[in-house]
Structure 1
Amino acid sequence: MTVENIPSLYEWAGGAEAFERLTERFYEKVVADDVVGPLFAHMDGDHPRYVAMWLGEVFGGPARYSEERGGYAHMLGHHLGKAITEAQRRRWVNLLADAADEVGLPDDPEFRAAFMGYIEWGTRLALANSQPGASPPRRAPVPHWGWGVAPPYLG
């Protein structure tokens, strides 16, 4: 397999449809959860779709979140001042992993390591950026996450 033939994480996951299934199921779990649910009590009905757009862009799909929603600066604005706790961050991660299993995201070790690597990194950044007095950079690119050191084995 050559580098040119390695699919993006977005492609490997199943594209926009897969991320939309993921975020729909995930936010069903979130709103019913007593730990992380309160953070989303006033969630816009389109929030799952917007998060699917963000994840799609991060994992190598079209730059829809940047083009339609304002990119990193817009995402950052949703976290500032929220005072997310470590318990909430961890529950968010666990619920997302559960939703990924339930909707059939690829479960091969290479994909899940890359996927969960971003989720850990992103939620830890969101936790830090959400704290009172935090002053993160207001402008940054949307991260682009790849396979890391273990591309998928296509046999």
Structure 2
Amino acid sequence: MKNIPTLYEWAGDMPTFENLFAKFYTKVLKDDLLGEVFKNMSPDHVKHVAHFVAEVFGGDKLYTTEDGGSHAHMIGKHIGKMLTEEKRQRWVHLLLQTADEVGLKSDPEFRSAFVGYIEWGTRLAVINSTLTDNPMHTNEPMPKWGWGETGGPYLSDKN
């Protein structure tokens, strides 16, 4: 059996993710709908999101080791933000537009997995943004996203 690359390996490397999210958040800050939501983001926000997504896609565990993050920590960033479906859709649209602009791999298999994760993650963000308390326990695992395996992001032989 052939060694199947992770989504992270297929996409490129950490500079690929850092470049994608740096250019993306430049757009977000200028956006009429999203700019207000992100205007006070920390200077490390872009790096943390790049590390988080890269780790979820099978890259080095920089978010959990260097950034001191966890899935519960990322969920916590959305608590009380009162995000709307309109904002979620704009966020997704800008990210996919940026992915095209920076030359992120565009083969159907990769993009399907990428969009699947973005849809899943942003829908969780909207749900959690209406809460006042974080529903995640700190010991819950980071999600792992692959090429479309059944079982979702937590039920994987790779955990």
TM-score (ref. length: structure 2)? 0.87
Match of 1:41 in 2: 39
Q: Are 2:58 and 2:144, in contact at CA under 8 Å, matched by a contact in 1?
A: yes
Distance 2:131 2:75 in 1: 14
Moved more, 28-37 or 130-139: 130-139
Q: What aligned pairs does 1:1-155 form with structure 2 within 5 A after superposition? A: 2-3=1-2, 5-68=3-66, 69-133=68-132, 136-139=135-138, 140-148=140-148
* Residue identity matched to 1:117: G
In structure 2, runs of 5+ residues without a counterpart are 150-159
* Residue identity matched to 2:30: A
* Structure ranking higher in helix proportion: 1
Q: Are 2:75 and 2:136, in contact at CA under 8 Å, matched by a contact in 1?
A: no
Q: 1:111 to 1:135 in 2, by over 3 A?
A: same
In structure 1, runs of 5+ residues without a counterpart are 150-155
Identity of aligned residues (%): 54
Deviation at 1:141, TM superposition (A): 1.4
Partner deviation per Cα, 1:81-130 (whole Å, 9 max, x = no partner): 10101111110101100111011100000000000000000000010001
Deviation at 1:142, TM superposition (A): 1.2
- Aligned residue pairs total 147
Distance 1:147 1:50 in 2: 23
Deviation at 1:54, TM superposition (A): 0.3
Distance 2:137 2:38 in 1: 23
Deviation at 1:22, TM superposition (A): 0.4
Q: Are 2:9 and 2:59, in contact at CA under 8 Å, matched by a contact in 1?
A: yes
Distance 1:64 1:133 in 2: 28
Provide the secondary structure at the position in 2 that maps to 1:84.
coil
Deviation at 1:132, TM superposition (A): 3.9
Deviation at 1:67, TM superposition (A): 1.5
Deviation at 1:35, TM superposition (A): 0.9
Distance 1:102 1:48 in 2: 17
* Residue identity matched to 1:62: D
Provide the secondary structure at the position in 2 that maps to 1:11.
helix
TM-score (ref. length: structure 1)? 0.89
* Residue identity matched to 1:144: K
Match of 2:157 in 1: none
Match of 1:152 in 2: none
Distance 1:84 1:134 in 2: 15
